[in-house]
């Protein structure tokens, strides 16, 4: 079969197929680079906090791009709107989160995790929220799903907006704020959210695989042509010589 493959006709076809396969390989490499770009670059760090209304409106959802944004908002804490969320773990330590309702200028309530205390905590031992108008800075998070609900008076299983609406009887934002350090008096500061790195873009990864298949298919076509000619000459030598 090598004798057939080395004929000028098939060498010319091979050269063309190699060119086409090389183009496919370049396109596959380009798609692969696009697929892993988010892994190499990572998200840009936020330099300063931005107003809450820039990323979340009352009644609006917390979109994925807004999660983890460092924002600020002004309002007054309502002393009667405070719950504890136990059973959490922070830095390997059992923790109870202290969530207070911040009344914003529009009258809506924004749940704010002012900080946390170690272990199980009695609600009477939790510092009351600071009085007066406050400027609160923190990281925006989406509402959690209400699974356990209210486990005891003043204690809930999740920071879930539907649950807090029923407890606080007021219009409530769909997300909550994890207060920055130095925001919670008498409480341990909430840790900054971990930086979220991107993942492979599966669509571009699929395109890269397709281009590799195309390149291999061109070489397969050449091999198929050579093999078929070789078999024809073996099975029909007279007809092949006449042709």
Indicate the domain borders of the chain.
22-42+200-243, 50-179
50-179: CATH number: 2.40.50
pTM of the predicted model over 0.75: no
Q: How many CA atoms lie within 13 A of 180 on its CB side?
A: 13
For tokens 């395109």, name the residue.
207
Provide, rounded to the nearest whole percent, the portion of the chain with pLDDT above 90: 22
Cα(40)–Cα(84) distance, rounded to whole angstroms? 39
**Is the dihedral angle over the CA atoms 153, 157, 159, 163 positive or is it negative?**
negative
* pLDDT tens by residue, 188-223: 888 877 654 455 566 667 777 888 888 888 888 888
Other CB atoms closer than 10 Å to residue 154's CB: what's the count? Answer: 14
């Amino acid at each position: 079969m090598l004798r057939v493959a080395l004929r000028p006709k098939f060498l010319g076809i091979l050269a063309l197929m190699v060119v086409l396969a090389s183009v496919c390989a370049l396109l596959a490499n380009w798609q692969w680079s696009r697929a892993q770009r988010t892994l190499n670059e990572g998200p840009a760090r936020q330099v300063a906090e931005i107003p809450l209304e820039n990323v979340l409106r009352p009644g609006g959802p917390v979109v994925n791009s807004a999660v983890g944004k460092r924002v600020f908002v002004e309002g007054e804490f309502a002393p009667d709107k405070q719950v504890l969320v136990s059973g959490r773990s922070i830095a390997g330590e059992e923790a109870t989160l202290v969530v207070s309702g911040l009344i914003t200028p529009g009258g809506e309530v924004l749940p704010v995790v002012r900080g946390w205390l170690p272990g199980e905590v009695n609600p009477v031992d939790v510092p009351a929220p600071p009085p007066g108008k406050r400027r609160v800075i923190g990281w925006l998070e989406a509402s959690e799903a209400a699974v356990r609900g209210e486990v005891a008076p003043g204690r809930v299983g999740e920071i879930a907006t539907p649950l807090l609406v029923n407890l606080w009887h007021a219009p409530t934002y769909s997300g909550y704020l994890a207060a920055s350090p130095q925001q919670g008096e008498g409480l341990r500061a909430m840790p900054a959210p971990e930086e979220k790195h991107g993942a492979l873009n599966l669509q571009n990864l699929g395109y890269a695989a397709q281009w590799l298949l195309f390149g291999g298919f061109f070489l397969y076509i050449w091999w198929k042509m050579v093999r078929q000619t070789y078999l024809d000459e073996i099975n029909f030598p007279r007809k092949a010589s006449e042709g």
